[in-house]
Chain A
Amino acid sequence: MPEGWYLVYWRAISVDGHPVQGVFTFALGPNPGPPPAFPTPSVAQTATSTPLLVARWVMFLSVLTAIGLFVLHMLIAHPLVRRVEGTSLRWLAQAFLAASVIGLVAVPVYVEESTSIDSLRSFWAVGALVPLWRVTAYGRAYVDLWICFALFCVAACIALWLDRPSLPRRPVAPLLAMLGALVAAAAVLAIPGAGGHAAQTSPRGVAVFLDWLHLVTAAVWIGGLVGLLVLWRSLAVAQRVAGLLVAVPRFSNTAFVSVLLLLATGIGASVLHLPAIAALWQTSYGKTILVKAAILLVAMLVAAVNLLRTKPQLSRAGVGEAAARLLRRLVGVEVILVAGAIFAAALLSSLAPPPPAFAKEGSALARVGPGPVAATVHRNGYTLRVLVQPNKAVQSNAFALQLTRNGSPVRGATITLVFSMLDMEMPDQDYAMRETAPGIYSQRKPALVMVGHWGLEFSVTPAGGTPFTAFIVDKANG
């Protein structure tokens, strides 16, 4: 390569599935010359598209619903057939099959769309994309999810085929098959955490477990709600109230515990993922968490009406049928809300959580940029005048700090300037600043390697004085 300046535009798939991209410059040779003004390519933190988001939502919705419907069929609504004569759970099984088929199609469609975005190819270039499915850690995780979900579907179909709800006790064979299906379902729900944000969050074991429990409870809730609607539709009018009287109280108890666990695990995961409380309203990731929580809160209010009002009315003479109709409407609303929360979750998992450096933002003495910076801040009795020229990403910038105390320049201080990217996780860079004039310390580096918010932390150790740090947030544009 000849001597001179070079610009590198890079694009990679992070281990939790985010396509990330950026640019940086470097120089070759003893005399590369002044850095040129490179045209900066458009760089965004993620490359999520609407079709990808929809595919992810359909995938999560169908997989969770299928698992929840199976749980409702085998563990919650099972006694219905024995207690209410002439009823069956066939419609529930058919709804499970429909959700499973959608899930079995949605997972590979999602992987294909994700791979097409990651590799900058058309979705329809199937022959070229399929071999790439398992190239990334994220792709491997979702192919594994597909395989595990297929195994769950096989096991669940066998369990449903062997199941005889009319018998007072379950024979060994259906029990064994049901156990196999439940174990497979548990395995399926562990994969999104293992292949996503949770696996990259410390402490990893806790984060993956919380994510798994969150999905288990979500599956029980959404699948159960859909199942109740199916039951309502499948039961003959004469048997409807009696049938719901068996299924609804059992589901309510399970759903109550599930929702509590869903809340607890959601809060726990947020605590792990967010470096500061302000990230909730200052970052896209935090805002999406708030939207998801708000939707779930409304869904819980509707669920509370069902639990406290509709369920008791089912058993009252004369109002049972009206209560059943109200229940259907409210459960329908709940399904829409929970599906909306799952959409928010799909969006959430497509966004990168704020990096740990975000926690520093609260301690910023000033916010500067874009454009040339000349800001004055005060710390520990010292006055710091910060200069950044031209304050542009990708280019070499001049950083200077004028350090004074009571109007006099402070000489002989040891100053280190640490650069932290605040919009995404990347290693810090630290540079020692040289005193180029009395009380003026400077450095010239291409340290702002990408567009966005940067934390500039000056670690100052005055000669014979107490060390201190000064932190400012700088916005650099291309």
Chain B
Amino acid sequence: MNVRLRLLASLAAFAAGVVAVIIVALLLAPLARADGDPASDWLLQRSLFVPPDAGISKGDQQALTSLLQSAKAQGYTLHVAVIATRYDMGAVTVLFKRPTDYAPFLSQEVRFIYRQRVLVVMPNGFAIANNGKRDPAEQQVVAKLQAPKPFHGAALTAAVENAVRKLAAAQGIVLPNVPVAASGSNTTTRDRILIGVGAGLLVLVALGVSYWRRRRKV
């Protein structure tokens, strides 16, 4: 059989596989983007949701997480969702800048696993819900707080920290100081994924070339 025809046919088959993967990726992409609202998945396992566009460094995220762990150790369990832009709302953009509506909504979404307080921080204010419901007493504590301007970076970190401390203090809990790292870490998860994918592709190409050359020698 013609070698060129065989090669073309195999390339066509490989291309069919690639096209099928692209179709599935296009099908999955809206699901990932409109991941309900991303915070609802994240807060099932973790205590802090910070989107990449909030500009909070890794160090500051760790410091805030430590603060929340410390609060939990003292009997005050709280998860925090920071929502910086409409994009961070996933499929529920309608609730952007409506923290008092989004907090019970988010709390209801996660309560099949997590049944405690959820604090939502948006550019226009703070709101808290507990086990899927509004909590008027605690809402009074955060209602007085102003969202930072700009809603980004160190100012945002300080505002979240302040809100957590105020809420804990309202329950008579004094949280210890946690070291807040300087902002500026620019190695994001996305970058790491890109580097990993790039490296993986390079390895695959190298393996393919090596295999091809070995076969030609045989």
Please, which residues of chain B bring their CB within 8 A of the CB of A187? 17, 20-21, 23-24
Which listed residue, B16, B45, B111, touches A155 by the CB 8 Å rule?
Answer: B16
Question: Is there an interface contact between B19 and A151, defined as CB atoms closer than 8 Å?
Answer: yes
Contacts of B144 in A (CB 8 A): none
- Report the Cα distance A359→B108, complex, angstroms: 13
A129 to chain B minimum Cβ distance, whole angstroms, is 21
Using a CB-CB cutoff of 8 Å, which residues 165-217 of chain A contact chain B? 171-184, 186-188, 190-191, 194-195, 199, 202-205, 208
Chain B residues near A359 (CB-CB < 8 A): 112
| A151 touching B17, Cβ below 8 Å | yes
**Chain A residues with CB below 8 A from B15, complex form:** 180
Contact of B133 among A178, A199, A208, A418 (CB under 8 A): A418
Task: State whether A195 touches B215 (Cβ < 8 A).
Answer: no
Please report the C-alpha to C-alpha distance between residue A78 and residue B212 in the assembled complex, in whole angstroms.
Answer: 23
A-side contacts of B109, CB under 8 Å = 202
Contacts of A298 in B (CB 8 A): none
Give the contacting residue for B10; candidates A177, A184, A188, A191; CB below 8 A: A177
The secondary structure that dominates the B interface is helix
B residues near A156, Cβ cutoff 8 Å: 13
Flag the segment in B27-35, B58-66, B184-192 that touches A.
B27-35
For chain A, residues 131 to 155, give those with C-beta under 8 angstroms from any C-beta of chain B: 140-141, 144, 147-148, 151-152, 154-155
**B9 and A161 within 8 A (CB):** yes
| Selected contact of A427 from candidates B45, B108, B111, CB within 8 Å | B108
Q: A194-B31, A418-B133, A459-B133 are in contact. Are A182 and B24 (CB under 8 A)?
A: no
Min CB gap B137→A, angstroms: 10
Contacting pair B20 A172 (CB below 8 A):
no
Assess whether B16 is in contact with A180, with CB atoms less than 8 Å apart.
Answer: yes
Asked if residues A428 and B20 are in contact (CB atoms below 8 Å), the reply is no
- How many residues of chain B get a CB closer than 8 Å to chain A's CBs? 36
Per-residue A-contact encoding for B1-44, CB less than 8 Å = 1, 0 else? 00000110111111111111101100110011001100011001
A151 to B45, CA, bound (A): 38
Cβ of B132 < 8 Å from any Cβ of A? yes
Check if B112 sits within 8 Å of A173, measured CB to CB.
Answer: no
Hey, which chain A residues are within 8 Å of B32, CB to CB? 204-205
A180 CB → nearest B CB, Å? 3
Distance, CA A154 to CA B17, complexed state (A)? 9
Interface: A242 (CB within 8 A): no
Can you list 30 residue pairs at the A/B interface with Cβ under 8 Å?
A140-B27, A147-B23, A148-B23, A152-B20, A158-B13, A159-B10, A173-B6, A173-B9, A174-B10, A177-B9, A177-B13, A177-B14, A179-B14, A180-B10, A180-B14, A180-B15, A180-B18, A181-B16, A182-B17, A183-B21, A187-B21, A190-B24, A194-B28, A202-B36, A202-B44, A202-B112, A204-B41, A275-B112, A356-B111, A459-B133
B residues at A contact (CB < 8 Å): 6-7, 9-21, 23-24, 27-28, 31-32, 35-36, 40-41, 44-45, 108-112, 132-133, 212, 215
Of all A-B residue pairs in the complex, the 9 with the closest CB atoms, nearest first, are A183-B17, A180-B17, A177-B13, A180-B14, A187-B20, A173-B10, A155-B13, A184-B20, A180-B13
